[in-house]
Amino acid sequence: MNPTEFLARLDHYKLIASVKEAKYLEKAAEANLSAVVLSIGNIGVIKGYVDFFKSRDIPVFIHLERVGGISYDREGIAFLSHYVKPDGIVTTRNTLIKLAKKQGLLTIQRHFLVDSDALKSGLQSIQETQPDAVELMPGLLPEFLEEYRSMLDTPIIAGGLIRKREQMERVLQHGATAVSVGSPSLWKESFVHDSRPIV
């Protein structure tokens, strides 16, 4: 999947499933999603999980810091790209974003908004690494979503602490392109944004 296709899918479906337990793989595969982020597994099982979603035409990202056994270096990212073959990665680390881009992987850079310094360094980091999308956590900070949106062309994914449909709608109304949620009960949600039906 190329960046243009991914962004079109993000804009259409608005919802990313963050899968944190293997027992929810099937449930995620049944939902209408922009993508799946795998926050589970290890080097021994991750390829099977990736293949599971790719066989269903669902873009799949690996959250690197949550998958055991993959080294955070050039060789580890090359192994991931050539053997595991996800569509992309999610990480907080600038160096991994750069390495993944060199391997042709899509990139989502995660930022935690803990204070004003984090806001400033996050914006600098994004301008340096140029990820395909940015995930801001926690997602329930509409004014910061708007601030990031006003300064960046990069799609923004809101994630973290989102537990209700109303919260999902609110972050979309305040500038998020999509929402990332880990609760399987929310994966079945669909909603209208900008008068466009989500199918």
Write the pLDDT tens digit of every residue in 45-101: 999 999 999 999 999 999 999 999 998 999 999 999 999 999 999 999 999 999 999
Please determine, for residue 190, whether its predicted confidence score (pLDDT) is greater than 80.
Answer: no
Give me the mean pLDDT over the 132-145 stretch. 90
HEC sequence for the chain: CCHHHHHHHHHHHCEEEEECCHHHHHHHHCCCCCEEEECCCECCCHHHHHHHHHCCCCCEEEEHHHCECCCCCHHHHHHHHHHHCCCEEEECCHHHHHHHHHCCCEEEEEEECCCHHHHHHHHHHHHHHCCCEEEEECCCCHHHHHHHHHHCCCCEEEECCCCCHHHHHHHHHCCCCEEEECCHHHCCCCCCECCECCC
Tell me the mean pLDDT in the region 153-159. Answer: 94
pLDDT surpasses 80 at 193 = no
Look at residue 121 and tell me whether its pLDDT is greater than 70: yes
The answer to whether residue 108 scores a pLDDT higher than 70 is: yes
Domains of the chain (ranges; CATH) run: 3-186 (3.20.20.70)
Q: Which of 16-25, 28-37, 185-194 has the lowest mean pLDDT?
A: 185-194
pLDDT in the model for residue 195: 39
The average pLDDT across 146-160 equals 91
Summarize the confidence of residues 130-151 as an average pLDDT. Answer: 90
